[in-house]
Structure 1
Amino acid sequence: MSRLAVVSGGGTGIGRATAGMLAGEGYDVIIVGRRPEVLARALDWIGPQASAVTADLSDPAQVATVVEAVGDRPLDVLVNNAGAYVTGAGAKLDEVAAHWRANFDSNVVTAVLLTTALLPSLRRPGGHIILTSSIAAQRGGGGPYSAAKAALHGYVLDLAADLGQDGITANVVSPGYVTDSEFFAGRMTPEGHAKRVDATLLKRAGEPDDIAEAVRWLVGPGGRYVTGQIINVNGGSVLGR
């Protein structure tokens, strides 16, 4: 039986590239997202080894549909890639609270609920958990989004400590500026793009495949002794620490 991977936020950008990479490595891949039409296009791109589950992972009841899709198969790789920069802050306290909660729901609660639900299915030993963070967690600039992504760093340390004795690794991949994704959703200007590229040491933007390749290493033989780490993939725009 083929190995099994689940990739949340698997319909576009980094998630789709990661799911495609895993399918190319021989995994059966379940991609999860909120928009069925986006998932359908991703399935056409990834190929026959992929299937899709439509779910809002901030809703505990909908997370159960992913557990049902996994069934009784051992889960080899879980990539928590779902998340977004949620805009809409206002000056009133209730608006501020709603803005922060929306960002934490999108980026933290989704990862916590899906991971918790699928923990019993993870292969022991040999399972891998990946959380997708952001350069914003390390340099700020994103308000509640930065804080939410930074929360994943603390969460992965707990996962690594709790699951290490079972032979399960848990790591964060923290991308820098990546094109060909929906993150900026029409908000990126040519000036903003040039500024972000210039901030890198390599003088180029990242691509979704750059992040997928980091995941390939972490879940492959080369990453079997790597756990509890924040893996920066940002072209040198933030130096290691």
Structure 2
Amino acid sequence: MSRSVLVTGGTSGIGRAIAALFAAEAHPAGTPAGASADAPAGPPQVYVTGRHQATVERTAKELGVHGIVCDATDPAQVAALAVQLPTVDVLVNAAGGLPGDAPGGLAPLEALLAQWTTSLAQNLLTAVLTTTALRDALTPTAAVISIGSIGAERRGGSYGAAKAALAAWNAALSADLGPNGVTCNVISAGYTAGTNFFGGTLPAARHEALVAETHTQRPGTADDIAATAYFLASPGARHITGQTIHVNGGAYTTR
């Protein structure tokens, strides 16, 4: 029986890579990279969301998935999304990003408040609203996976604080949903090249400094994160829950 997979923020970067890996289950060439040999049989029904219709439609066509326009910071749009998905086996909360510039004309404290409010909305509340709206749709073996950041551990500002709150919320969510058989984990991504996260080309010096922090001496890729998400949604990860999995090449280590 095929499973239902929802990836919010699935039109670019890490979210798109995750959606592509799940969608690859339907490819006749065989098991996708990073897949478990005991993954559920049958091609999944993969859904991606994004805020803009053009990018959602283009991604859905290119990956062969279903596209739904949804701004995950908007409760009404999230509620409408939930109506379209009666069951969900894998929920990936990948929507998020850095806050843009505050509107002009604001006083300094007002501008600061706007920045922090946006960071929390994009990087915490998107996951909270979506997961809550789909709670009753989660199957007994569902996996909820939220994309965090190394910024939660250091130098993250409002973005890092929101990602730290995401991990704290995930721990509580795991305790809440665990008795139902649902696992809940955060993937904390380190420097990941080839995404739009930095809003443009990263200066060479900054790129080199970030790579130098790793033990592997290379930047991460969206595929690294996708493979981890795929594993966390596999039968082999059914006893992994309430965790923050750091995927950063050793730039931040735990013990």
Same fold (TM over 0.5): yes
Unaligned runs of 5+ in 2: 26-42
Aligned match of 2:164: 150
Deviation readout 1:61-96 (Å, 9 max, x if unpaired)? 1112211221x3x21000000001113268711111
C-alpha separation in 2, matches of 1:240 and 1:81: 23
C-alpha separation in 2, matches of 1:189 and 1:35: 28
Aligned match of 2:38: none
Higher relative CO (CA 8 A, sep ≥ 6), structure 1 or 2? 2
Aligned match of 1:212: 226
Structure 2 counterpart of 1:63, from 71, 78, 91: 78
Q: Is residue 198 from structure 1 mapped to residue 212 from structure 2 by the alignment? A: yes
Q: Is residue 131 from structure 1 mapped to residue 146 from structure 2 by the alignment? A: yes
C-alpha separation in 1, matches of 2:96 and 2:231: 22
C-alpha separation in 1, matches of 2:49 and 2:194: 19
Aligned match of 2:124: 108
The AA in structure 2 aligned to 1:22 is F
Aligned match of 1:84: 97
C-alpha separation in 1, matches of 2:46 and 2:207: 32
The AA in structure 2 aligned to 1:67 is A
Unaligned runs of 5+ in 1: none
Q: Which runs of structure 1 show a deviation greater than 3 angstroms over 4 or more consecutive aligned residues?
A: none
1:142 deviation in Å? 2.3
Aligned match of 1:163: 177
C-alpha separation in 1, matches of 2:6 and 2:138: 11
| 1:23-38 equivalence runs, <5 A | 23-25=23-25, 26-38=43-55
Aligned match of 1:95: 111
The AA in structure 2 aligned to 1:77 is V
Aligned match of 1:39: 56
C-alpha separation in 1, matches of 2:109 and 2:201: 26
Identity value in percent: 42
C-alpha separation in 2, matches of 1:91 and 1:239: 39
1:223 deviation in Å? 0.6
Aligned match of 2:196: 182
